[in-house]
Structure 1
């Protein structure tokens, strides 16, 4: 199954699928493929109801596994057919400027630079960690987005220029090919390290319900609020996709009706 699907999946998607597979192993370790019935899949779905996104991903992976097994005559049916997905609520968490400053203040110099690069470029964390020194020019930073393969040049600004200079000045025993690398070995920084460090920084800063992915939403939201093109910065071909990231909603102002007693006084 892995060798068949791996070439068609992006690295980040593959990691998510592998995490889903671990959850499946925990729940179906004692089952033979033909023993898994629809009621077992439904039970798993309900068991994971508190994490609907992960639950949906796990069921999707299980559905793909049984599709493969069905095609190879390992099973006679796919027990995932007819099992509906959880309704996934849209995340609307917006990290304020004060919260972002507090998070950065409670971070190491290395991690702070990564968070700030996520914000200034508006790119996904995987694309930020993959920035090579060769991708940086006086024009800006060139990206080829891992998820969409879209090419994008984030134009150089004074903030970006100063941040890049600060990153290059960080102490390194070995300088790697990527802008961000481990202080000792010079290897690219791993996503899980940044994710864990961000959670620790948030806890120290007293910032709740914030995730590393909220930095991209903050960047695109602030870009839109400042009158710039958030869709271009996000690398989206569809404006609807950009709207999913915008979390600075304009507040509608409405005039309420007057009380009847007030209307009587005016008429008299």
Structure 2
């Protein structure tokens, strides 16, 4: 039977897909025989030039997760990105990233509009992924850059009120109370508090390098935190630890804190709210400025400082203003 295909081209499988097989090259030809595209593919393969692997978002995710940038992320940042990258891989893993346009990013955002916070976090992850694509030469631009975030519709995070702080202290004990006091006393993120070692502590405070921002801070001890730590028995390298001295996980820390939150009716106030509480307490003290808040929280962005301490600053300034008005009226009456 006369062969109708050119040399080295064979039909394989039930569907009869065409493959060029010669030496070390075995590559499918997707164009149809007799077309200019087929002639170009065939000529290229005869010259021994295999087609470059097709770039996809799924492959870009693999590249991103094996990069030095990824290795430098804090544990909780990687875990958050992993969750959102799994979604991106599922819905667009087959897409060539160079074909992605800003309109497609908006379409993804709008499809998740019923959960705006989750949508915004996925946008942040996508932007980081595509920035990596630019870094390694897969993309010339980042279509996720500048895409407007959705306005959150959920509850606003608030600092813990004084009565619930005291209620937690009255109902918690052991490792849970120690963790609570460290969170409130240092004003740091949960991951950084769980990473604290006894070697980070001197007589007056902690030396900390924040996992998320890599900011180096020295956090002096409050009197309460000094007493709490002085009463604690060292079991290993980590301050908050299992009985064998090993570091506890975020999941266990959250479980321990949540148990007491439920007991005292503080479900609306989460772990991160203790960082807000520390910033708010500082901001409410007369004479304290955003620089004082920054010195404890490590925030470089003024907008974030306002988010954490803005309400307390407003209240303190309002009290000063009303006091000044009262003092002015008293002076007039005396005259």
- Comparing 198-207 with 34-43, which one deviates more in the overlay? 34-43
Structure 2, unaligned stretches of length 5 or more?
Answer: 1-63, 323-335
Structure 1, unaligned stretches of length 5 or more?
Answer: 170-174, 256-268
Deviations 1:30-88 (A, max 9, x none): x632599778755543343243232122133234545666898989x987578542135
Distance 2:204 2:227 in 1: 14
The residue correspondences of 1:59-78 to structure 2 (distance < 5 A) are 59-65=123-129
2:258 paired residue number: 199
Q: Does 1:112 align with 2:177?
A: yes
Distance 1:86 1:11, change over 3 A: same
Distance 1:70 1:135 in 2: 38
- Alignment TM-score, normalising by the size of structure 1: 0.74
Q: Does 1:20 align with 2:87?
A: no
- Alignment TM-score, normalising by the size of structure 2: 0.61
Alpha-carbon contact 1:104-1:201 (below 8 Å) kept? no
C-alpha displacement at 1:239, in angstroms?
4.3
C-alpha displacement at 1:9, in angstroms?
2.8
C-alpha displacement at 1:224, in angstroms?
1.9
Q: Which has the higher contact order (CA 8 A, sep 6+)?
A: 1
Alpha-carbon contact 1:59-1:80 (below 8 Å) kept? yes
1:233 paired residue number: 296
1:176 paired residue number: 236
Alpha-carbon contact 2:191-2:211 (below 8 Å) kept? yes
The residue correspondences of 1:103-182 to structure 2 (distance < 5 A) are 103-168=168-233, 175-182=235-242
**Match for residue 245 of structure 2 among 177, 183, 186:** 186
Alpha-carbon contact 2:176-2:253 (below 8 Å) kept? yes
Q: Does 1:85 align with 2:149?
A: yes
Alpha-carbon contact 2:284-2:315 (below 8 Å) kept? no
Structural RMSD (CA): 3.5
